[in-house]
C-alpha cells in the first residue's frame, strides 16, 4: 500500500474566528519503520501563512493513514484516520484535543487514540 506521502489527500478545513483565520490539514507520512503515520498542521492567517501547531500521529506497530481533520467553532481539533496492521483488522480511530470537556494543551492533540469502528 502506498500512502502518497507527498500529497494532501483530504481538503484543507478553513475557519474564520474574527481575530484570526485557521486552516487545518493532514497527510500520510512514513511512520516508524515500514509503517505509516498521519501528520497534521494548523496554519494561521492564510494571507501570511504561519504554522501555528503541528504533530505526527504514529504507532510503531500499527499503520495510520488516510486522515480526516476538522476544527469546531471553539478551535478544538479532531483527527480521524484508518488503521491496520498484522494484528489489527482495518478500523477507524480518532483523536482530539478536547476529551469530555477537559481540554489538552493547544500544542498537541490527545495522546490516546480512540477506536470508533472496529474491523472484523
pTM of the model: 0.78
Domain boundaries, given as residue ranges, for the chain: 13-114
DSSP per position, 14-63 = EEE-SS-EEEEEEEEEE-STT-EEEEEEEEE-TTS-EEEEEEEE-BTTBE
Q: What is the mean pLDDT of the chain?
A: 78
Q: Pick the range with the lowest mean pLDDT from 3-7, 21-25, 52-56, 90-94.
A: 3-7
Model pLDDT, residue 18: 93
pLDDT tens for each residue of 35-48: 888 888 999 998 89
CA 97 to chain centre: 10
Model pLDDT, residue 107: 42
Q: What percent of the chain has pLDDT over 90?
A: 22
Amino acid at each position: 500500500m502506498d500512502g502518497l506521502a507527498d500529497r494532501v489527500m483530504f481538503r484543507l478545513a478553513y475557519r474564520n474566528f474574527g481575530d484570526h483565520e485557521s486552516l487545518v490539514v493532514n497527510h500520510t507520512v512514513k511512520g516508524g519503520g515500514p509503517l505509516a503515520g498521519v501528520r497534521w498542521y494548523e496554519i494561521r492567517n492564510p494571507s501570511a501563512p504561519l504554522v501555528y501547531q503541528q504533530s505526527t500521529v504514529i504507532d510503531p506497530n500499527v499503520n495510520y493513514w488516510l486522515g480526516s481533520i476538522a476544527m469546531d467553532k471553539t478551535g478544538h481539533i479532531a483527527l480521524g484516520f484508518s488503521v491496520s496492521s498484522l494484528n489489527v483488522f482495518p478500523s477507524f480511530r480518532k483523536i482530539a484535543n478536547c476529551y469530555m470537556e477537559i481540554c489538552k494543551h493547544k500544542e498537541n492533540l490527545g495522546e490516546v487514540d480512540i477506536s470508533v469502528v472496529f474491523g472484523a
